Structure 1
Amino acid sequence: MTTPREILKRFNVRPSKKLSQSFLVDVNTIHKIAAAGHVTSEDVVVEIGAGIGVMTKDIARTARQVIAVEIDPGLIEILQDQLAEFPNVEIYSGDILKFDFALKSSQYKDKLKVIGNVPYNISSPLIFHLLSYRSVINNFTLMLQKEVVERLVSPPGNKHYGVPSVLLQMYADVQRLFDVSATCFYPVPKVASSIIGGVFREKPLVELMDEVFFSRLVKASFAQRRKMLTNNLKNAKFLEEMSDADIMSALHDAGIDGKRRGETLSLPEFGRLSNILKYRLTNPR
């Protein structure tokens, strides 16, 4: 088997700083990530950041279909060369943040699995992009910056718990699978990496009256982390029609002490408060 380093050397690949490229070159880690995706012969897999196609091959040996997404046009020819033996691989040259998961799900008449090595500069936008397509995505296995994974899987009361934690965990069951040493990459990045695995729920953890409103509430609650929840909500634009007394009343009915900080609220508490506030706004007394 040709190693990742040999492929890079053969095609004279120079990592792009602009694209935050760092190639995963440790073969054992590549196999481990692919295995963590639990790909079956029935699966349609979207691979993010196919690079030079080493992990793509691993996935393609099992999957029904692989859509290998790569933003760097300079790597497409390499992918075509490396993946020529796999008729079940479609190479997609483009930005994953503009990728239409619903279109591919419809084309292959199945929900998708997502696996990939995500460029660290698009970690948060990508998570929100996946969330917007969660109805057509079954699960995901992603390599992200270790610090980002810590935030995404963090429980309430933890310093890493924040907006991404709440929004992702409301719609997905997530877990940190394992860490990846910086020495597994070329060039060696300055940050550590971790693998996160997640399964999108059929329904949110809490039934929500309005998901957009819920998202706004979560963001407002963390607007200033050190402030009490009451103060953050009083300053929220989308709640400006409510008086301070109305907000305090809603908190009371949700069983939440307004003196608490947003970082202490559980997902059920956020969901309950969102529904009460939404109801009060649409049904003023």
Structure 2
Amino acid sequence: MDHVIPGPVRLFGAADVRALADELGVRPTKKLGQNFVHDANTVRRIVRLAEVRDDDVVLEVGPGLGSLTLALLEAAASVVAVEIDPVLSERLPRTADERAPGTELHVVLADALRITAADLPGTPTALVANLPYNVAVPVVLHLLAELPTLRHGLVMVQSEVADRLAAGPGEPAYGSPSAKLAWYADARRAGPVPRGVFWPVPGVDSALVAFTRHDEPDGDRRAVFAAVDAAFAQRRKSLRAALAGWAGSPAEAERRLRAAGIDPSERGEQLGIDRFAALAATT
């Protein structure tokens, strides 16, 4: 096979997205959380804010018709696109050949919530995705757990979800997703995304969350996450009360909290992930 020299990438506009959808007989579905981006400036902005480098292997979840995929192919060494819809998955390589010749795209037909490193070609170093709103948090946490090679990334999610992912201890949106993401990475909001760049126009606001991976705290992740879940299941209660079931009794919860240097009257939203790890390590 002859080597194809990369040429200029032709990004989608609104008319291109509609035409391709018509060709495939695709109508975006709420079940799959499909809202297709049709604005070239937006996808280039996403790639820029994600700090994609020319040596990155980018993992994209839910590429859909390929709007963001094309912008990623323009910037990265290669893209691994995980798509659950077989019609979209089958068409995407031809879209890349037509509009981003000479670039390297691998398409995996799979559910992102079930994939492991063994299912993917290469070793992804960055996650960049427009995630379905209903599965955004579990997808991000699953991929960070399964793919330790992911060092950085940026995801587009519902604005309220962005708040929860990026919040720190003591902030109103801080909760279980915030604490669990903090186990893997430092996260921050990277800006809003206008509703008008999507087709169909969503009924909620969207935002970008960027993350940079760091070393994980000491301890057993599953044990730590169990403590996080228990603390936030009854977030209005003190940790002494909220963790009673997790520890076995209110008295045992208080003993373990004090052993970890935590005031039993505190609430879960006041604890960072390192303090949850210290709590889970007590016996």
Which TM-score tier does this pair reach, normalised by the shorter chain? 0.7 to 0.9
Q: Does 1:224 align with 2:224?
A: no
Question: 1:134, 1:200 within 8 Å by CA — same for their partners in 2?
Answer: no
* Structure 1 residue 144, shift from structure 2 partner: 0.7
Residue number in structure 1 paired with 2:68: 55
From 263, 269, 275, the counterpart of 1:269? 275
Change beyond 3 A, Cα 1:3–1:212: closer
* Structure 1 residue 26, shift from structure 2 partner: 1.8
Alignment of 1:42-81 (within 5 A): 42-81=55-94
- Cα distance in 2 for partners of 1:215, 1:96 equals 21
Residue number in structure 1 paired with 2:136: 123
Question: 1:102, 1:136 within 8 Å by CA — same for their partners in 2?
Answer: no
Change beyond 3 A, Cα 1:86–1:47: farther
* Structure 1 residue 134, shift from structure 2 partner: 4.2
Residue number in structure 1 paired with 2:3: none
From 112, 116, 122, the counterpart of 1:96? 112
* Structure 1 residue 111, shift from structure 2 partner: 4.6
Question: 1:101, 1:136 within 8 Å by CA — same for their partners in 2?
Answer: no
User: Structure 2: which amino acid aligns with 1:9?
Assistant: R
Change beyond 3 A, Cα 1:8–1:26: closer
Question: 1:60, 1:88 within 8 Å by CA — same for their partners in 2?
Answer: yes
Change beyond 3 A, Cα 1:3–1:135: closer
* Structure 1 residue 165, shift from structure 2 partner: 0.6
* Structure 1 residue 244, shift from structure 2 partner: 4.1
RMSD between aligned residues = 1.9
What is the SS of the residue equivalent to 2:276?
helix
What is the SS of the residue equivalent to 1:225?
coil
- Cα distance in 2 for partners of 1:103, 1:10 equals 32
User: Structure 2: which amino acid aligns with 1:232?
Assistant: A
* Structure 1 residue 61, shift from structure 2 partner: 2.2
Residue number in structure 2 paired with 1:248: 254
Q: Deviations over 1:28-54 (max 9, x none)?
A: 111100112222222111111112222
Q: Detail structure 1 runs of 4+ shifted over 4 Å in the superposition.
A: none
**Any stretches of 5+ residues in structure 1 without a counterpart?**
281-285
- Cα distance in 2 for partners of 1:44, 1:207 equals 28
Question: 1:7, 1:52 within 8 Å by CA — same for their partners in 2?
Answer: no
Question: 1:162, 1:222 within 8 Å by CA — same for their partners in 2?
Answer: yes
- Cα distance in 2 for partners of 1:161, 1:131 equals 19
TM-score by length of 1: 0.86
* Structure 1 residue 101, shift from structure 2 partner: 3.1
What is the SS of the residue equivalent to 1:195?
strand
User: Structure 1: which amino acid aligns with 2:218?
Assistant: E
From 4, 27, 34, the counterpart of 2:13? 4
- Cα distance in 1 for partners of 2:242, 2:179 equals 17
TM-score by length of 2: 0.87
What is the SS of the residue equivalent to 1:136?
coil
What is the SS of the residue equivalent to 2:279?
helix
